Amino acid sequence: IHYASTTNRTNVDLMISGLLLTYQNQVVETETPSSWVYKETRSQGGVLWVPDNGLVLGFYFSNEVNEAEFFTDEVNEFSIRLGHVF
């Protein structure tokens, strides 16, 4: 059984003087036969310093919220990203 669902996605990236600003959002709404809606929202945003070559360093904040008629569950995260540009 597959219930009707709607997915909306938003992605925005902006590079300014070696800084990459990024935001992502996804909302999934699923309607069940009992007429209540399950809603899952995921958001992530952050800043990365990206030179032409060398070390890439940045941080991200993430949030996930799951909602239904009888409960709400929320998870928040922080991460540090490290990489290398060749």
pLDDT higher than threshold 90 for residue 66: yes
Q: At 46, phi and psi to the nearest 5?
A: -175, 180
pLDDT higher than threshold 80 for residue 60: yes
Residue 82 near residue 48, CB atoms below 8 Å: no
pTM for the full predicted model: 0.80
* pLDDT value for 73: 96
